Amino acid sequence: MLLLLLFPASSRALPVPQEKEKTALGSLTSVGEVYVNDSPAPAEITIFSGDRVRVGENGSATFNMSGKGSLKLSPRSQALFAGKYEYTVELEAGAVVMNSISGPNGLTLRIGNDVLVPSTKEHLALASVDRAPDGSYLVTCSDGAIGVLNLLGTAGQFLQVGQAVSVAPNGELFPVMRQDMTPVSSAKSASAARKSRGSFTGWGYLGLAAGGAAGAAAALAHGGGKQSVSPAGP
């Protein structure tokens, strides 16, 4: 009793730190060598925020996010499903095909210091993304229109159907002309694209006020890839 009087705090259980609650993002269907958080994945599994998916040489996987879009992961690829406000998924290695519905509510993909955001001017945006070993990315728009935004939302580039851009490790964008898009490895394509600065004539350029890629997505809707967006005033 004396001990309880002297040290009353010790008689109460200390609160146990709780892990941040994870959010269910969507479902993953996989075939072959696919891992979720380094554990072999079943044919179908729910993906939560913070999960990392790795696809082996003989595997493939498709992530479906209800009402937002899908992401197909190719062999030898890896992605972190962050589920953040700024972006849904981050490509860490390999190649993916992103299929997102229009607008800021669609699935968004982080590539280095940039984020791919679909335009609301189109019903959907379809783009393929290849990450080269040197950390650069090759982004090709196959349908709709998609914006390649700086993570801070300060600048970006719109891609229309058939257009491609190489994103350097430092975030600098280099246009890829059609003659450059030969059937070579993604690593060679992305690296070669950075060595040749093409004209951005006919490409929608975005100059956006700082506020994050997610906040800039609304401005993308007004630009639609066809006009510039001026920086906001102070």
Residue 230 has pLDDT above 80, yes or no: no
CA 13 to chain centre: 43
Residue 11 has pLDDT above 60, yes or no: no
Weakest mean pLDDT among 23-32, 149-158, 214-223? 214-223
Q: Residue 178's pLDDT is what?
A: 57
pLDDT (average), residues 3-20: 48
Q: Which residues contact 197 (CB under 8 A, 6 or more apart)?
A: 174, 175
How far is it, in rounded angstroms, from Cα 128 to Cα 190? 13
Weakest mean pLDDT among 16-25, 49-58, 97-106, 188-197? 188-197
User: Considering the chain, what percentage of its residues have pLDDT values greater than 70?
Assistant: 65
User: Considering the chain, what percentage of its residues have pLDDT values greater than 90?
Assistant: 51
pLDDT (average), residues 59-76: 96
Checking phi first, is residue 226 left (phi over 0); if not, alpha (psi -120 to 50) or beta?
alpha
Q: Give the residue with greater pLDDT, 124 vs 104.
A: 124
The pair of structure tokens assigned to 103 is 């607008």
pLDDT (average), residues 190-219: 43
pTM of this prediction exceeds 0.85: no
Q: Predicted confidence band at 191 (pLDDT cuts at 50, 70, 90)?
A: very low
pLDDT (average), residues 209-224: 46
Q: Give the residue with greater pLDDT, 85 vs 54.
A: 54
The pair of structure tokens assigned to 206 is 């975005």
Residue 194 has pLDDT above 60, yes or no: no
Q: Which residues contact 216 (CB under 8 A, 6 or more apart)?
A: 117, 149, 153, 156, 206, 208, 209
CB atoms within 10 A of CB 168: 18
Domain spans in the chain, listed from the N-terminal domain onward: 21-223
pLDDT (average), residues 4-17: 46
Burial readout 93-123 (b: 16 or more C-beta within 10 A, e: otherwise): ebbbbbbbbbbbebbbbbbbbbbbbbbbbbe
Weakest mean pLDDT among 31-45, 120-134, 140-154, 218-232? 218-232
| Mean per-residue pLDDT of the chain | 76
CB atoms within 10 A of CB 184: 10
Residue 192 has pLDDT above 50, yes or no: no
Q: Residue 50's pLDDT is what?
A: 96
pLDDT (average), residues 52-64: 97
How far is it, in rounded angstroms, from Cα 155 to Cα 77? 28
Q: What is the DSSP letter of 202?
A: T
| CATH architecture observed for domain 21-223 | Sandwich (2.60)
User: Tokens 């851009």 belong to which residue?
Assistant: 165
Weakest mean pLDDT among 46-50, 80-84, 99-103, 134-138? 99-103
